[in-house]
Amino acid sequence: MKINRVEKISYLAPDWAAQQGQLAAGFSTRHGGVSRAPYNSLNLGFGTEDLKSHVEGNRANFCRAFDLQPHQLLTIKQVHGSNLLLIDDENLDLSHFLTVEADGIITNQRGFMIGVLVADCVPLLLHHPGKGVVAAVHVGWRGAANGIIARAIESMQAHFHCAPEEIFAAVGPGIGAHRFEVDRPVREAFRGGSGFWDLIAKEVKLGHWQLDLPLSCRLQLESLGVQSENIEIAKECTCCHQELFFSHRRDDGQTGRQLGFIQLK
């Protein structure tokens, strides 16, 4: 992935997004907005304590860069679960989706952009070029353990006949394993669910492990049939790169949100 810039907005873009055309996809950085510290500057999350007017201004700047109206940017109310919002018919008014409690969106519709908000959790983008289907998924440790990635791939299969081996995936910037220490409840959640705990966790002291969430995403995608060559993973750690990304853990919760976004043009 490389950093692209459109007007004031800079974002990480997966290589396959440019190669496939008629697609806007990437992961926003914290640059190009109007918010003040500690939310400076492109905070796109309404669920923070930032001024609503600042977030609205930031979203307006972001949408302008991608030739969208603000109402054409669709995010949902994320709750660290495994439910997904599926949109398979034309919706001229997206406002009724804004309070839907889910942690991912799947659609085959054009004319609007879907996205998930993160600040250490992993934003996952999926695209099946042949069927014209895209998805944006919020993958925290709970989602990874509870199978949200499998639900996304299986939903794309069941509703849109997307063959997993033809799906492209981009695992966006999240917290790196070296900065993400977890305890026994997290271990039990993974051992009782999905996520390849034994391959993604390294014990650093009694009852504490470093957890590699991006690796869990890759392993789950590959186990579901996504080809390894179709998976891109961002190298940047949100917790380490304060100049680029918001981080909930680094900033003790007083921080903004970046966006993993994708749109069929």
Residues 230-238: what's their mean pLDDT? 98
pTM above 0.85, yes or no: yes
Residues 208-214: what's their mean pLDDT? 98
Find tokens 């966790």 and name the residue: 201
> Sorting pLDDT into bands at 50, 70 and 90, what band is 22?
confident
CATH numbers and ranges of domains, the chain: 2-174+225-264 (3.60.140.10)
| Residue 233, pLDDT above cutoff 90 | yes
What pLDDT does residue 116 have?
Answer: 98
Among residues 73, 149, 166, which one has the least CA distance to residue 113? 73
What pLDDT does residue 187 have?
Answer: 97
Contact 84, 151 (CB under 8 A): yes
User: Does the bond joining 38 to the residue before it have cis omega, within 30 degrees of 0?
Assistant: yes
| Residue 164, pLDDT above cutoff 90 | yes
Question: 138: which 2 tokens?
Answer: 């919020």
Minimum mean pLDDT range among 17-31, 131-145, 196-210? 17-31
| Residue 235, pLDDT above cutoff 90 | yes
Q: Rounded to the nearest 10 degrees, what angle do helices 213-223 and 148-160 cross at?
A: 30
> Sorting pLDDT into bands at 50, 70 and 90, what band is 92?
confident
> Sorting pLDDT into bands at 50, 70 and 90, what band is 227?
very high
Question: 195: which 2 tokens?
Answer: 């996520």
Per residue in 59-89, pLDDT (tens digit) is 999 999 999 999 999 999 999 999 999 999 9
